[in-house]
Structure formats: structure tokens, C-alpha cells
Homo-oligomer: A and B are copies of this chain.
Amino acid sequence: MFERLIAGLERRDELSDIEKAIIEGFRFRVQSFDDGQELVAEGSRPSESCLVLTGFTARAQFLSDGARQISAVHVPGDFVDLHCFLLKTMDHSIVAIRQCTAAYIPHSSLREAIAASPHLGRLFWLATLIDAAIQRAWISSIGRRTPAQHIGHLLCELHERLDLLGLVKDGSFEFPPTQTDISDMVGLSLVHVNRTIQELRAKGLVAWSSRVVTIPDLARLKRFADFDPSYLNLVKEPR
């Protein structure tokens, strides 16, 4: 159930057998969701934190005029909602991009785990810090990169993260968001996103159809989008 979570933590630091056992011993319930449903609602006060098991999810905020802004995309194994463990009230929603399943773990389990292993506590903290680093990269993208660079950067990020999960084959990966979803990620209109994707295709940087993205020359796309993966903290070291 929690292999991906464990693998994700182990990518950043050693995990003892005891720590793995603590995680395996989490109480949890599993729930499935359809397109667009909320796994966690803005303004709610959950007593459980949720973890993506399968499928894609996103963090979303809604403005008073109904506009939506997505501030992160999450992939299987991501402990999406560690935030509410301490933040208590959600400042954003977690929404399903397509069908997905999630495990909900009671905060009491988390609290016990952290008490039993402060190191594990630091690794959960680290997970939220990496989310924050990704958000900073998004701020730079949305503020200072061109639309084509921005979408290119986003695809590099997802390539990198999905590759670790073994979900990339020959530079191709499934990426279910519609162009409307993408427009809410990059803060542009749907029409402009469409034209930007066509620009990326025309430049030969990306092939993208029926929800499968192919990156023929990753190094070239990275150069084009000014992508440097170090912010993803894919380095194993004592934390």
C-alpha cells in the first residue's frame, strides 16, 4: 500500500526497517474519486491527511469571480495533504484530475509515528519543503518564463517525477490534464495554451496527443525551458 511513499522518502535519505514498519502500520482508509471531485475541500478541517495512491491530483484555489488557479500537480505516492496536519484549516482544495484513489491517514497515526521516530518526522517535514520548492519554481515560471518555456518546464518537472515512478517509457508518459486544466496551472487562457502547445510541437520539442506526452529530446527541452532539476532534491543524504 505504501511502497511508493516509502520509495519516495528513501530517495532522499536512508530509512530504517523500524521506520518502514511504522509507515506500513499506519491506519488508513482508501477512497476513489472521479474527474474533478475534491479529495479535500478548501476551508475544511480534516482530521486525516491524504496520500495519492493512483492517478493525478492538483492543488487548486478558487477566486471570488470563479477563476481557478492550480498551484501544484501530484503523482502517485505523493503525501499530498501533510499540510493539514499542522495547518488545520485548508487554504486550498485537492482535486482529482482524472480517476484516482487516495489513502487517508488519521493525524493521530502521524503524531505517533513522529513521536516514535523524530527522523521520520523530519522526512515528512522535508516532503512539504520540497512541495514548497516546487511552488517557488512555479512562481518563477508563471512570473518570468514565456508561456512556451513555462509549459516546457512543467513537462520537464513531470517527466522527472514520473520517471522515478517508472511511469516514463521512451520519453513518453501519460498526462491526463486537459488543456483547460493546463490553463489553470499556467494562468493563461485556454486558447493561448492551445497555441502555445502547438508552438512546442512545431519546434519539435514535444509531441502530445490523447493525453500522452512524448519528449523526443529531453536535454533540448530542458535547455529551452531553463530547467534545472536540483530543486526537486533527488539526492540521498542525511537529513
Q: State the A residues within 8 Å of B (CB).
A: 59, 61, 63-65, 67-69, 71, 83, 86-89, 91-92, 114-115, 118, 121-122, 125-126, 128-133, 135-140, 142-145, 184, 186-187, 226, 230-231, 233, 235, 237, 239
Least Cβ distance of A16 to chain B in Å? Answer: 17
Q: How far is the CA of A83 from the CA of B143 in the complex (A)?
A: 22
Least Cβ distance of A87 to chain B in Å? Answer: 5
Q: Which residues of B contact A226 (CB under 8 A)?
A: 63-65
Partner of A132, one of B65, B67, B131, B239: B131
Q: How far is the CA of A9 from the CA of B69 in the complex (A)?
A: 30
Main secondary structure of the interface of A (DSSP, over half): helix
Residue among A59, A67, A69 with the highest chain B CB neighbour number at 10 A: A69
Q: Which residues of B contact A91 (CB under 8 A)?
A: 133, 136-137, 230-231
Partner of A140, one of B71, B115, B122, B237: B71
Least Cβ distance of A91 to chain B in Å? Answer: 4
In the complex, the chain B residue whose C-beta lies closest to that of A139 is B71
Question: Could you list some 7 contacts between A and B, CB below 8 A?
Answer: A61-B136, A69-B139, A69-B144, A83-B132, A86-B125, A132-B132, A143-B186
Contact, CB under 8 Å: A145 / B63: yes
Partner of A67, one of B68, B142, B144, B187: B144
